[in-house]
Structure 1
Amino acid sequence: MSTSPHLSVVVPVFNERDNVAPLVHEITAALRGRAPQDGGDFEIVYVDDHSRDDTLAVLQALKAEVPELRVIHHVTQSGQSTAIRNGVKAARGEWIATLDGDGQNDPADIPKLIAMRASSPAEVKMFAGWRVNRQDSGSKRWASKWANAIRARMLRDDTPDTGCGIKLFERAAFLELPHFNHMHRYLPALMQRAGYRTVSVPVNHRARSTGVSKYNNLNRALVGVADLRGVAWLIRRGKVTRTEEI
């Protein structure tokens, strides 16, 4: 692996000890042996959000057999958005792919997003996964559909599934975005606010095989209302100014 890989795969985790090793091996299987510009020059950055199980110990043991793996540990639990941001800040790649740590996103879709990037204009800075065949409970699918409809009406971000964990984006563009708790649910809208284009790409979605979800419909709804109002305010107050050097 080069000192500065082209791609960094960032995975936030909290209490996912049984999902860590299978997902790490799926990531390496999806990317090893590919051309550098197609994802073959990569690192994996796991961010452990102060797990209470032995997730961190499992990750530390995996480093001995997976040279691409790096591990960042939160000394206090800080949430998924902070874990993603700290992973991106620590990443050395020019482009970032993110995956949820529960194994429901398919790492085999990362090359698909990279191929879409290769055929897209330079102003497209984010390729967002779109779970067209979700493998969640009926109540979770209904809640997500309801939330996506409200968000799309308020933010007009033209993104059918903003909550999908698998995304590909330019690191520098991401670090320009305002940071706040739960921002990961609004990344396409925030990228567009910054003056960039985003594209939604259909991806695979899998049922959780082990562990339990860290969210429920009620806590998503309670924080979602305040977040939506805040993001809508940010969009209204945002301004992109083109510059040129003369």
Structure 2
Amino acid sequence: MNKQSNGITIVIPIFNEEDGIGRILPAFEEYINQSKFEVNLLLVNDGSTDHSLSKIKKIAALHDHVGFISFEKNAGLSAAIRAGFEKSNTKWVGYIDADLQTDPMDFLRLEAMIPDYDLVTGRRTGRKDSAVKKMSSTFANWFRDSMLHDGVHDSGCPLKIMRRSVALHMPFFKGMHRFFPALTLIQGKKVIEIPVKHFPRVTGKSKFNVWNRLLSPLQDTLALRWMMKRQSVYTISENSIKTHKAAIHE
């Protein structure tokens, strides 16, 4: 199979997931073989305090398509994703959680949509989370959509592919990963949400709590709504800037 030259980098944030790191490469094998893209995996160690980093280094040393970066201390999921996008050098970037509650094979479904969209995000079907987690997520998604009107039902789904240039133009803040659709739409870009599978967590420990999954996102939603309301749109009718012959590619 001929692979497209404009590859894709899948960013995988990791925080204290030592028991599950060995599952990552086998889970990606079939997707990598079937993808139309040259797929790279970028493991981002978010200041783990267990043996995650040593296991990440061993995997990266053995596989050319696997790289890693490591934070000095824990900085949070949004920072890990953003750093991964910044260090990637492909036209497209993706994101999945290391707990593999979503299926890497579903990236094929997302790939099918990117010729027409700048962000393709999953919507978890039959979620295998606790009742409290599902209820708080449902409320947070309803509140976010009612305020931002991004048309997405599951903004926090940890399975996405987006154009890297679009991702890097987003303002960075703690918790930004929950607002990728709205931050894409602000740029005048196109977003679509498609259903993906969801599995129970089998390794590691959930980082869920009421503050990081409900109260904090509500505050962020209000802040982002303010920013959208204050957005200034302009159109340049004429200019005298000359275009250089050496065009800059994404």
Q: Structure 1's 19 and 182: CA in aligned 2 closer, same or farther, altered over 3 A?
A: same
| C-alpha displacement of 1:21 | 2.0
| C-alpha displacement of 1:72 | 0.4
Q: Which residue of 1 aligns with 2:188?
A: 195
Q: Structure 1's 81 and 14: CA in aligned 2 closer, same or farther, altered over 3 A?
A: same
4+ residue runs of structure 1 moved beyond 3 angstroms?
239-246
**1:49 pairs with one of 40, 46, 50:** 46
How far apart, CA to CA, are the structure 2 residues paired with 1:240 and 1:131? 34
| C-alpha displacement of 1:20 | 1.5
* Root-mean-square deviation (Å): 1.8
Q: Residues 75-86 of structure 1: matches in 2 within 5 Å? A: 75-86=72-83
Q: Which residue of 1 aligns with 2:28?
A: 27
**1:141 pairs with one of 109, 134, 141:** 134
Q: Residues 27-176 of structure 1: matches in 2 within 5 Å? A: 27-32=28-33, 34=35, 38-39=36-37, 41-118=38-115, 120=116, 124-176=117-169
Q: Structure 1's 115 and 24: CA in aligned 2 closer, same or farther, altered over 3 A?
A: same
| C-alpha displacement of 1:33 | 5.2
How far apart, CA to CA, are the structure 1 residues paired with 2:234 and 2:182? 18
Greater CA deviation, 21-30 or 162-171? 21-30
Structure 2 stretches lacking a partner, 5+ long? 240-250
Query: For each residue in 1:31-50, what CA deviation from the matched residue of structure 2 results, as whole angstroms up to 9, or x when unmatched?
Result: 1254xxx23x1211111001
Give the TM-score, by structure 2 length. Answer: 0.89
For residue 154 of structure 1, give the secondary structure of its aligned residue in structure 2: helix
Q: What is the aligned-residue identity percentage?
A: 32
Query: For each residue in 1:169-218, what CA deviation from the matched residue of structure 2 results, as whole angstroms up to 9, or x when unmatched?
Result: 00001101111000000110111011111000111111100111012134
For residue 112 of structure 2, give the secondary structure of its aligned residue in structure 1: helix
| C-alpha displacement of 1:27 | 1.7
Query: For each residue in 1:100-159, what CA deviation from the matched residue of structure 2 results, as whole angstroms up to 9, or x when unmatched?
Result: 1111111001111001223x2xxx210011012111111111111111111111111100
How far apart, CA to CA, are the structure 2 residues paired with 1:18 and 1:91? 26
For residue 213 of structure 1, give the secondary structure of its aligned residue in structure 2: coil
Q: Which residue of 2 aligns with 1:207?
A: 200
For residue 116 of structure 1, give the secondary structure of its aligned residue in structure 2: coil
Give the letter aligned to residue 85 of structure 1. Answer: R
How far apart, CA to CA, are the structure 2 residues paired with 1:63 and 1:149? 40
Greater CA deviation, 162-171 or 208-217? 208-217
Q: Does residue 228 of the first structure (1) align with residue 221 of the second (2)?
A: yes
Q: Structure 1's 244 and 209: CA in aligned 2 closer, same or farther, altered over 3 A?
A: farther
| C-alpha displacement of 1:225 | 2.3
Q: Which has the larger radius of gyration?
A: 2
Structure 1 stretches lacking a partner, 5+ long? none
How far apart, CA to CA, are the structure 1 residues paired with 2:96 and 2:210? 21
Give the letter aligned to residue 53 of structure 1. Answer: D
How far apart, CA to CA, are the structure 2 residues paired with 1:244 and 1:133? 50
Is the 2:8–2:93 Cα contact (8 Å) retained in structure 1?
A: yes
Give the letter aligned to residue 32 of structure 1. Answer: N
How far apart, CA to CA, are the structure 2 residues paired with 1:236 and 1:112? 34
